Each structure stands twice: as structure tokens, then as C-alpha cells.
Amino acid sequence: MFLKNILKKNYNNNFWNKNDQKWKKRNNYEKEPPNLDEMFINFFRKINKIFNLKSMKKSINNKFLIIFIILCIAVWFFSGFYTIKEAERGLILRLGKFNHIVYPGLNWKPTFIDKLITINVESVKELVASGIMLTADENVVRVEMNVQYKITNPKLYLFSVVNADDSLKQATDSALREVIGKYDMDRILTEGRTLIRNDTYKTIENTIEPYNMGITILDVNFQTARPPEEVKEAFDDAIAARENEQQYIREAEAYANEVQPHAYGQAQRILEEGRSYSIKKILTAQGEVLKFNKLLSEYKVFPEITKKRLYLDTLEKIFENTKKVLVSNNNCSNILLSLNKNFDIEHNINYNNSHLNGKTNKK
């Protein structure tokens, strides 16, 4: 207020105006000391203008600053929203240190403070290990193996080792070389593939277990195993010979399986026939013994009668199935002729004659 009153008085005072004109004229001709009042007035005028401008600018700048700060806060807040997919898990690093695991859904994090790392825990990853390796019989073989694995613990996968995928690859190479070194080349190239696969699977699991890498081995596939190109033809011939050997063995086994049941059946039939024949003969002999013992007791009582009866029974059995002719002569003595052979010869002659007559009639 003091400055404003001084300025108002000076603007309305003609005395100061006249003095200004005089001082201007005098300055043209001679040098005089400056007017201190005028200097103070000019000084205070300039100070007043400066303070008015600064206050106006300061108020405008404060408004823009507040709006800018509000916009920055809004952008920062909305930039913190993110979505985690169903097959993923999120790891939050707060100021570079692990804080917590985020699960699927809509989440928020303070930007520039928290860092998000997403890990897919559902997808199956594949790792291929191959190379030229030394066998137990000091041969060289080129092998290739495929390892399928899955991430089960994202925290251990990221922070237990520097690079879990590279660590698994090194463990697979080491396990495969260890297992290949236990077997000879012929077994690796032929029937030992399944055994090598199982041994490699167990060795990999035992190797990575102490490191807690947060991954699980799902399957190990033994892809190829082949000898060096210089001896490939010889090994192919050897493999073909083994395959032919196995084929012949299978064919022989099939033939044996086909023939053996028939042979076993025939052998059992012969054995059964032999047992039945033996039983029959034993029973017949026992019957004859009983019959003989019975005749023996009768013979002891009536020997002559028994002899004659046995004689007549024997003749009856002989003549029962025999063709015979009785011829009597004048001396009243009978002659017995057996005509079985004669009847057979006559029958054959009559058949041949009738057959020849039939052919001549046809002609």
C-alpha cells in the first residue's frame, strides 16, 4: 500500500513533471547530479510490475501442474491392470525380489514397483539331445533322444537355477552318455532300445532331483541310433542277418507249436491203447486160470471122463467153422475131408469164367 500511494501522488503532481523537463534540458548542456526521487519511483514501479506478473504465472502453472499430476496418477493406476490366462501363472517381483504368485484372472500391480513374469504350466516342452558317443565295446555310435517335460513349480523353475532348460539339457546329455557307455554297440542298435530308454529316464530324474528345478519329466523317447557312415553297410548286413535269424526262430517255434499237440495226442492215444490191451490180457489170463483151476478139480475126481470131454470140446471148436464132407465106404468107415480151400478155389474159377464171358458178349 505504501508503494501504491507514492505512485498515485507522483502521477498527479505537476511539480515532478516540470522538474523532469528541466532536468532533460540541463542534461543537454551540463552535467548535474541525478534525481534520487525519480530513481526510487522508477525502481518501485518496476518491482510492482514484476510481482504482479509472477503471481499470475504462478497461479496458472499451479493449475497445469495439478492436472498433469492427476493424469499421471490415472495413467499409472490403469496401467497396472493385467490378466493371467488359465494355463499360466504369474510371478511378481517387487523391487527385484520375489513377492508372490498370481493365479488366472484379472489382477493389479503397482507399475514401476512390481514386475510381472508369466509362466505356462500346462504346455509340454520338448528337448532334443543328440551326439556321437562311445559304447562299452569302444565303438562310436550316433544317438538321438527326445525328452518331454512340464513346468510344475514356476518359482523353482525361475529362481532355483540360472536357466532350468539349459540345466535339463546338460543333465540329459550327461545321462545319455552314461547309459550308452554301459552297453555294447550291437545291443544299442538292436534289442536294447527299451532298456536304454528306461535307464536314461531314471538317470535324468536322479540327476535333477537335488536341484529342485520345478519341472517334471513326462516321457523319454529314444529316437535313432546308427553307426558311423564308414561302417554303416556292414552293420546293416549284420542287422539283416539277426532279423533273418529271429524270423527263422519264430517260424520254427510256430511249426513246433503246430506239430507238438498232434504228436502229444497221438502219443497219449498209443499209451491208452497199450493200457487197455494190458488190462484186457491180464483179465483174460485171470479168467483162463480160473477156468483151468476149475477143470483141474474135476480132473482130479474123474480123470478119464474129463479127458474125453476136453477132447470132444476141442474137436467141436475145430469143426465148428470148417466146411467138411463125410464119405462112407463099404467097410462102413467114414472119411472126413476139409473142403475150405477147395471151395475157395472153385469160387474163384467160377468168378473168372463169368467175367470173361461178359467181356466176350460185349464185343
- Render pLDDT for 132-147 as a digit per residue (tens, 0 to 9): 888 888 888 888 889 9
Q: What is the pLDDT of residue 2?
A: 41
pLDDT digits 0-9 by tens, 157-172: 999 888 999 999 999 9
pLDDT digits 0-9 by tens, 176-214: 999 998 888 878 877 788 888 899 999 999 999 999 999
Q: What is the pLDDT of residue 301?
A: 81
**Which regions of 243-351 does DSSP assign to beta strands (E)?**
324-328, 334-338
Contact 133/183 with Cβ under 8 angstroms? no
Q: Tell me, which fold does domain 124-227 have in CATH?
A: Tetrahydropterin Synthase; Chain A (3.30.479)
Hey, what's the cell of 330?
Answer: 463099404
Query: Does pLDDT of 275 surpass 50?
Result: yes
Mean pLDDT computed over every residue of the chain: 76
Cα 127 from chain centroid (whole Å): 14
Does the global pTM surpass 0.85? Answer: no
Short-list 142, 134, 124, CA closest to 177:
134
Query: Does pLDDT of 14 surpass 60?
Result: no
The residue that leads in pLDDT, 37 or 243, is 243
Short-list 179, 273, 172, 245, CA closest to 213:
172
Please report how the helices 14-29 and 36-78 are oriented relative to each other, as an axis angle in degrees rounded to 10: 110
**Cα end-to-end distance, the chain, whole Å:** 177
Q: What is the pLDDT of residue 259?
A: 87
6 pLDDT tier (thresholds 50, 70, 90): very low
Query: Does pLDDT of 355 surpass 90?
Result: no
Task: Please state the rounded mean pLDDT for residues 41-60.
Answer: 57
Give the Cα separation of 148 and 24 in Å (integer): 101
327 pLDDT tier (thresholds 50, 70, 90): low
Using only the alpha carbons of the chain, give its radius of gyration: 65
36 pLDDT tier (thresholds 50, 70, 90): low
Cell 476136453: give the residue. 310
Give the Cα separation of 340 and 236 in Å (integer): 80
pLDDT digits 0-9 by tens, 108-138: 898 888 899 999 998 899 998 888 888 888 8
Give the Cα separation of 38 and 31 in Å (integer): 17
Q: What is the pLDDT of residue 338?
A: 54
Burial 255-285 (b: 16+ CB within 10 A, else e): eeeeeeeeeeeeeeeeeeeeeeeeeeeeeee
Query: Does pLDDT of 13 surpass 70?
Result: no
In the three-class reduction of DSSP (H, G, I as helix; E, B as strand; rest coil), residue 26 is classed as helix
Return the domain boundaries, the chain: 2-75, 82-119, 124-227, 231-318, 321-351
Q: What is the pLDDT of residue 202?
A: 92
